A and B are shown apart, each in its own frame.
Chain A
Amino acid sequence: MTPRTTIKPINFICMAPQAQAVSLVGDFNGWNVQSHPMRQGPDKSWTATVDFKPGHHRYAFLVDGVLTLDPRAQGITRNDQNQRVSLMPVS
């Protein structure tokens, strides 16, 4: 069994080839738009890796300033601003 205190690196990928800037926001960084910019690769996808504690986490991509759900997320919920955001389990 995995202790729930173990930190796990989680890889995120956002397919937004035309975007100028994409960042990762969520409870983990206080929804700070500057805290976790994503990096665009040769295939034009945007990626980032963040360490998470086990549990359930809310997050979203900010694509050129627009809050965007992760189509690969396992769930949907709302953040404290009542915006629809993605939900991620980490075990």
Chain B
Amino acid sequence: MKKSSSRRSPGRVAPRAATAAQTPRGRIHPVVIYPFRQPADLGHLERLYAWVGELAGDPGTYARPVTVVDRKTHHANAASRGYLDFRTQTAAVCSDLVDAWCVDTCQMWYTGLGQAYDRGAAGDVYWLIPGDFNYGTPVGQELLGRLHDLPEILLDLDQDLCVGEIITDHNNPKQLIDTYGTFALLYTWFPKEAREIREYTERPRSEFFAIRHEFLGEVLRQRWFAYEQTVVTLLHAVFQQKRISRFCVGEITDLHDGGETLASALQQVERTERVLKTLWRARHEGDPDWIARYRLLEQQSEAVRRTAQILLGNLLP
């Protein structure tokens, strides 16, 4: 199919017109996760916040954006004039800053999504926007032109969760981690649900997603993990037969050149395994035979993790 692209020129966020049925639509709550490491080049952040400013200027469609800043980031840059100026003169102008001590990125998500949820209402949707991408590049600007689709899909098609998928080639480190780590472990601990997740997305750890108020409320009340929360949210969506969509947001690279070292990749695989084991136990520890099943799965999981270690060792620096 070739059709008109939904891309809007970055920096031009079109206000949404009323639907034909004139039914009231929920508001969209943008939640920006400020980069953990302050980039030396502020160009990408400036581009991102110029766009966030456009969102803030359309209060009929968007709630006031929220920016979550890890206190460690703040203290590490407290003497940096560039950071302080950007914080006060840009980020704080178009969004509400939420400062929080966070053990990892997913706790920043929890804090930001939780704060937005407390301000939201039934029918609203929440939109996670990671700050550490190279938004100033042509690819990054293309991404900014497509991101708006994620929350709009929830509203237009009455969905519960929309995952933004980043297209990469098969040799991309993140893709390799997901292929040999994330999915292999998912097929071990939650095979039925993993099959369904893969029918939607090849990137179950995506940091781009939008989620409906009612489902977010359920997810926030579940145990929240410090990492790999997208995988957990997708699993809860499948457990509860929620309406899931996937949308391609473009082909992008991380700010830090997108490369992953073997050590970083193995850490991500180990984290995923830890989260899946914990979630499996939480769902099954009431079963009479759970410990025998758990031991068997743990053995299989260890074999999967070791295989991932070998393969990623062959493929990553």
- Residues of A with Cβ closer than 8 Å to B? 1-5, 8, 10-14, 53, 55-56, 58, 70, 72-78, 84, 86-91
Q: Contacting B159 at CB < 8 Å: which of A2, A10, A77, A91? A: A77
| Chain A residues whose CB sits within 8 angstroms of the CB of B16 once the complex forms | 4
Q: A1-B14, A1-B15, A4-B14 are in contact. Are A91 and B4 (CB under 8 A)?
A: yes
| Chain B residues whose CB sits within 8 angstroms of the CB of A8 once the complex forms | 4
**B17, A3: Cβ atoms closer than 8 Å:** yes
Given A4-B16, A70-B1, A91-B5, 10 further pairs, Cβ under 8 A: A8-B4, A10-B1, A10-B3, A56-B152, A74-B6, A75-B149, A77-B245, A87-B153, A87-B157, A90-B4
**B1, A56: Cβ atoms closer than 8 Å:** no
Q: Which residue of B lies closest to A5 (CB)?
A: B17
Q: Which residue of A lies closest to B6 (CB)?
A: A89
**A76, B2: Cβ atoms closer than 8 Å:** no
What is the bound-complex CA distance between A31 and B280, given in angstroms?
Answer: 39
What is the bound-complex CA distance between A77 and B211, given in angstroms?
Answer: 14
| Chain B residues whose CB sits within 8 angstroms of the CB of A91 once the complex forms | 4-8, 14
**A76, B246: Cβ atoms closer than 8 Å:** yes
**A74, B15: Cβ atoms closer than 8 Å:** no
| Chain B residues whose CB sits within 8 angstroms of the CB of A2 once the complex forms | 14
Q: Which residue of B lies closest to A90 (CB)?
A: B4
- What are 23 A-B pairs with beta-carbon distances under 8 A? A2-B14, A4-B17, A10-B4, A11-B1, A12-B3, A13-B1, A13-B2, A72-B2, A74-B149, A75-B245, A75-B247, A76-B199, A76-B200, A76-B245, A77-B159, A77-B245, A78-B243, A87-B247, A89-B153, A89-B247, A90-B4, A91-B7, A91-B8
- Residues of B with Cβ closer than 8 Å to A? 1-8, 12, 14-17, 20, 149, 152-153, 156-157, 159, 199-200, 243-248
| Chain A residues whose CB sits within 8 angstroms of the CB of B152 once the complex forms | 55-56, 89
**B1, A12: Cβ atoms closer than 8 Å:** yes
| Chain B residues whose CB sits within 8 angstroms of the CB of A55 once the complex forms | 152, 156
What is the bound-complex CA distance between A77 and B149, given in angstroms?
Answer: 13
What is the bound-complex CA distance between A75 and B154, given in angstroms?
Answer: 13
**A88, B1: Cβ atoms closer than 8 Å:** yes
**A56, B243: Cβ atoms closer than 8 Å:** no
| Chain A residues whose CB sits within 8 angstroms of the CB of B5 once the complex forms | 89, 91
**B199, A56: Cβ atoms closer than 8 Å:** no
**A77, B157: Cβ atoms closer than 8 Å:** yes
**A1, B17: Cβ atoms closer than 8 Å:** no
What is the bound-complex CA distance between A56 and B246, given in angstroms?
Answer: 12
**A74, B248: Cβ atoms closer than 8 Å:** yes
**B248, A75: Cβ atoms closer than 8 Å:** yes
